[in-house]
Amino acid sequence: MFDVQAGTENCPFCNFVIPPPPASADDPVAVDEHGVPVEPAAAVPVPDPESMILEGTLPSAPPPTSCEEPAPAPAPAAAGGGAVKFVVIAAAAFLAFKLGLLDNLLMLVGLASPPHAPPAAVAPPAQPAARQEPASPPAYEPLSSGPGGPIAPAGGKPEAEKPAPAVQWTFEGTVYDMLSFRPVKGVVLLFMTQSEEETFESRTDARGRFRIVLPPRGEGYKLVADHPEYIGEYFDETAPPIKSWSLSKRRQMRAAKPSHLPWAAKDAAPVRRDFVLFPDITDQ
């Protein structure tokens, strides 16, 4: 690329040719072999290393002042990156501590032991049962009846007597045929109060007998006898009894309109009342 001149020197760093200094007036004039003075070679311009750009390359940093390769400069760290990471890690640790996850994470990596179960509560020894003393008798004697009624303890009131149960009325008797004096079976007896608000029923057995227990009513009961073969009216026994009457007199009873006393009782003793029915067939 350049002619190498005698007496020239190369740069120790870039290996460029350093031109000799210009000749002064005192220097002798160089001549060739024929004695013709030779003009000094024009100084070869030396390019500036800083402004020289080689073909196919980009400008780079200035050349080093020595032949040793310079160490690469460390990359600058992001501003504030370390502080942000520290805040994030601290917040995550605090949240894990609050949620109870820190111990679990430590147990997973083997840095913490599982929690121990609390010791079971020891039941206190059973106390011996207290001995129960027998109940002391009451300070007063039990109530007793005297001439003036029940005697109550001092400072108390006499116990109210329970009302005696109401006496029931019991009625019993036998139903006969007016003409034959045979017992009438299957007669339905309806005992009704005078206002006919309550009704009680009974029935005669094979021997014409009946028995019924009724609650007491002040006005007593009235009776209705019902049988398909007899008329609706019944006739109470009289003194002397109807059995002592003649047949013709008993036949006359068909057209009679009898009256009846209420069915009532004075006490719990059964009241016996027999009565007769007139058959619906008149040719017997």
Q: What is the pLDDT of residues 158-204, one digit of tens each?
A: 566 666 667 899 999 999 999 999 999 999 999 999 999 999 999 99
Instruction: For residue 227, give its domain range.
Output: 169-279
Question: Is residue 253 one of the residues assigned to a domain?
Answer: yes
Question: Is residue 91 one of the residues assigned to a domain?
Answer: no
Sign, CA dihedral 95-100-106-111, equals: positive
Question: Is residue 138 one of the residues assigned to a domain?
Answer: no
Question: Is residue 140 one of the residues assigned to a domain?
Answer: no
d(CA 188, CA 143): 51
- pLDDT bin (cut points 50, 70, 90) of residue 2 is very low
pTM of the predicted structure, to 2 decimals: 0.43
Domain count, the chain: 1
CATH number, residue 173: 2.60.40.1120
Question: Is residue 105 one of the residues assigned to a domain?
Answer: no
Question: Is residue 212 one of the residues assigned to a domain?
Answer: yes
- More confident position, 12 or 221: 221
* pLDDT tens by residue, 227-263: 999 998 999 988 788 889 999 999 998 888 888 999 9
Question: Is residue 96 one of the residues assigned to a domain?
Answer: no
Alpha helix stretches (DSSP H) within 134-181: none
d(CA 177, CA 187): 11
Spell out where the chain has E strands.
9-10, 17-18, 144-146, 149-151, 169-177, 188-193, 199-203, 209-214, 221-226, 230-236, 271-272, 275-279
Question: Is residue 220 one of the residues assigned to a domain?
Answer: yes
